[in-house]
Structure 1
């Protein structure tokens, strides 16, 4: 190989590789792996859709200022606005 293998800049040792191999050979608890909760938490029973939205610099500044005042995220404010509009 061309150099030392790393993960996030940390060198991977032969001992670590041997430990990973032993763990894999012993088998994994699939139920435990499924409970790990990868990714963002769900917002409902169905997966949420990502929607792209273009805003001007001024619109974004207004949104960010209000989000800061209310201690909320941009997404939270946009969802609240859509909910209020649709009501």
Structure 2
């Protein structure tokens, strides 16, 4: 195995690979696998769109600082800022 192989930033061990192989050989409950949803959960009745946004390093740092302090994601902070803007109240 390549020592550079990682999963979520952590090295993957031979033991983990063996455990995955044993799990696969034992078989999977197909009905349980089909119950899992695909993709991220919806945010409401309407479909949502992904929007690319360019921010400076300082703008992104400010969002990340606030998100960390409030225990929220970047997206939540940005959505709150938009919903609290003066033009959204009109």
TM-score range, shorter chain: 0.5 to 0.7
1:64-75 to 2 correspondence within 5 Å?
Answer: 64-75=64-75
Q: Which residues of 2 match residues 70-85 of structure 1 at below 5 A? A: 70-85=70-85
**Higher Rg of the two aligned structures:** 1
C-alpha separation between the residues in 1 aligned to 2:79 and 2:63? 12
Match of 2:49 in 1: 49
For structure 2, the 5+ residue unaligned runs are: 1-6
- Taking only aligned residues, the RMSD between alpha carbons, in angstroms, comes to 2.9
Task: Normalising by structure 2, report the TM-score.
Answer: 0.59
Output one character per residue of 1:30-86: Cα deviation in whole Å (capped at 9) or x when no partner.
xx82x3212111101222100000000010111111111111110000000111111
Match of 1:4 in 2: none
Size of the aligned set, in residue pairs, is 70
Q: Secondary structure at the match of 2:53?
A: coil
**Superposed structure 1 runs of 4+ greater than 2 Å apart:** 8-13
